Amino acid sequence: MARPRQRLGNLPAEPTSFVGRRRELAEIRKKLATARLVSLVGPGGVGKTRLGLRIASDLGRGFADGAWLVELAEVRDGELVTNAVLEALDLRDQSASKPLQILLSDLQNRQLLLLVDNCEHLLGSVAPLVTEILGAAPRLTVIATSREPLQVPGEHVVPIPPLDVPPENGAEPLAHLRQNEAVMLFSERAGAASGTFELTGSNQAAIVALCRRLDGLPLAIELAAVRTRALSVGQILDRLTDRFALLTGGGRAALPRHQTLRTTIDWSYDLLTPAEQILFRRLCVFAARFSLEDVESVCTSNEVPATAVLDVLSALVDKSLVIKEDVRGLACYRLHETMREYAQIKLREAEEEDLLQERCVEYYRTICLRSADQARYRLLEWLPWAELQIDNIRAVLQQCLARGDSSRGLDIAASMKYYWITHGTTEGLRWLDPLLASGEASPLTLVRAYYLRGWLSLLQADPAAARPWIARAVATARATGQPAPLSESLSIAATVENLAGEPEAARRYLEEAEAITPGLDDFPATIELMESRAIQAIFEGDLETARAASLEGVRLSREAGDLYQLEAMLINLGMVGMMSGDFPSANSQFSEALQVARTIDNRLAQSYGLAAAGWYAANTRQARAAAQLLGAAEALGTQTGADMMGPSIPLLAQAKESAIGALGASKFEAEFTAGKRMGRDAAVRLALGESEPADIATERLEAGPLAKREAEVARLVAAGLSNKEIGARLLVSETTVATHIRAIMNKLGFNSRAQIAGWMASSNR
């Protein structure tokens, strides 16, 4: 049986329910056949996002690296657009390279479709970025959704109008009416809301009139349809007609479409209870998704106490004013961007904007500080929370900068340490530097912030930049009588000096740390000392001391549940084995470190683990695996902006030369390239010696008898698609598809499509 094709990219597994749009879909397909940038342009509420998701889902299979969604509605700072694209593409900023460098390096050899959604408020940042990535990545195609064009070279604009509405007389046969896009949407949403709704001869005139009154605007139609739970279509039409008549002086003059949508939202808002109105307008304080706990902590009032929040929030979801989503098993909520804009207007009218912003800042400061000391022991819970909340935290940090509130801003930024070191070293610097410029914070927060600022520079392989920040951490901890933070700062200072090539200075820092740490009974100080002692010994070539310090660090980390530090100590042990030529020990330690890195999704450590696995394979006569693993390590290093450092560099170079000697240059290059194309998860499984997954077989297929495009065609033949369907999927002509199929048959010695399908199935491709 053929293996189901893996869904590439990050589009929703089941895109939002979609109705109609046949004309627009055809136009977009036509544009994408010749253009690399297509912008879907239209006012809010016309369904640009839904249309973009549909076309990306349909066409994504025709791109070797799939279709990817970049959601910008929740990004408020233009400087973070590149970071948003990195996150959407599952890349990480964990080392020296800037986010844009990481992005360009990754995209230049990939064939993918990028859907950049809700660009209108960030055009000044989105337009130059799209121009740059299209120039650097010749096989990249971009679909953008916005209220206005990006206005960049090569852009093809597709205006997105409202849905088609039926003729005014409403006398069309029901069968025809059911095919009308606006009527289809109203009927679908009304059915979902009431459970029993159906288009009939008795209500067709009212439905037609309502869809026409709402100008075919999808969002307005959905808001009206949900009211069928309590009102008939005729009643909804009467109430909306009265509302519109007020705006046109009682006449029949048409309103601009944006006013139609605003009026429909006004009508829906006015039908809410006072408690629902209060909660709805207050939800806009969140920049992104939010949880029930967030709402209970920030948005309550005398009318909506915390105990009533769930019921009121559920009522807003039922009325289609709030969207509910499941994220990793947690119920989360968000506002459609048009609804957020409307809620912000209502919040200002109620003079509650300052109150809610202040509550939001204090809420995130409190929960960040609460987690600051415990995050390292709960990374498996804390990192998913941080990923969910990061856009809200970014918005709060931006508010702190705008208000000059550096004290609370530093409390938050310094508490997000493990997010910055695993997801965004450059972004961490972006927040810390302006907040630290004032120097206003508690002594404890200042030491944490200075320490973190130096650590991030160290991760960027810049010990010279790290040195003054760590020196400030040492001086502040010493001056304010904080012995445990002083010990941590002294230990990392020794590491900084070793990497800067100053062994004497490193030794002095380490000796002072060793003098004060034993009496503290403090895990962070003790484990940092073990780390520094191991690194010092590795630089001095004292492998026994390095082994002893690392073993003690492994023991302490396991007991404490500190997975990040456990991973680091295991890497140190692996380095000792590598340097001493103890292949089994090195492989065992690196393998466990790689397992931990996979568990907490530390990409930087995974790239080191893959490189170490390649080194081990090269030294144990597994040249083909070595080439693939070294290629996978290089690719993952590119995706995190990382390079190998320290004593491993010459050892990895030797491993590469060994694999080339065993395979020959051309065969090595083919396997190395196959490794670079291998998915990260597949590469980690290969490195750990787990059962070979099917996606590795697929990657080898592409490096085997068939070229990459031929392999794609073969998979689609096996799926039963015709030449015409394959051409539409891959955006090529039927003639080109036929040429590929002939080439496949010639290479494999086949004479029928059935043989191609059988070969794919038997090979589990």
pLDDT, tens only, 516-537: 999 999 999 999 999 999 999 9
pLDDT value of position 289: 93
Kindly give the pairing relationship between strand 112-117 and strand 323-327: unpaired
Sign of the four-CA dihedral 507, 508, 513, 516: positive
Spatial CB neighbours of 679, under 8 Å, sequence gap ≥ 6: 695, 699
Residue 140: name the closest of 85, 81, 74 by CA: 85
Cα distance between residue 599 and residue 422, in whole Å: 13
Cα distance between residue 212 and residue 206, in whole Å: 10
Contact call for residues 488 and 527 (beta carbons, < 8 A): no
Cα distance between residue 623 and residue 69, in whole Å: 38
Phi, psi of 156 (to 5 degrees): -110, 120
Q: How far is CA 415 from CA 331, 365, 371, 490, 617, in A?
A: 25, 9, 7, 20, 40
- Which of the 8 DSSP states describes residue 188? H
Lowest mean pLDDT among 654-668, 674-688, 728-742: 728-742
Q: What is the mean pLDDT of the chain?
A: 89
User: In the predicted model, is pLDDT for residue 729 greater than 80?
Assistant: no
CA atoms within 13 A on the CB side of 303: 10
pLDDT value of position 740: 81
The segment with the largest mean pLDDT, out of 17-21, 104-108, 438-442, 742-746, is 104-108
The DSSP bridge partners found for residue 156 are 38
User: In the predicted model, is pLDDT for residue 418 greater than 80?
Assistant: yes
Work out the average pLDDT over 7-14.
70
Work out the average pLDDT over 242-246.
75
Kindly give the pairing relationship between strand 323-327 and strand 330-334: antiparallel
pLDDT value of position 708: 67
Spatial CB neighbours of 752, under 8 Å, sequence gap ≥ 6: 745
Work out the average pLDDT over 624-646.
85
Contact call for residues 451 and 470 (beta carbons, < 8 A): yes
Cα distance between residue 392 and residue 287, in whole Å: 5
pLDDT value of position 172: 79
Give the pLDDT confidence of 208-235 residue by residue, as tens digits: 999 999 989 999 999 999 999 889 999 9
Tokens representing 143? Answer: 């679909």
Q: Going from the N-terminus, what domains does the chain have, and what CATH number goes with each?
A: 22-159 (3.40.50.300), 174-270 (no CATH), 274-351 (1.10.10.10), 705-762 (1.10.10.10)
pLDDT value of position 2: 31
Query: Which three-class secondary structure state does DSSP give residue 424?
Result: strand
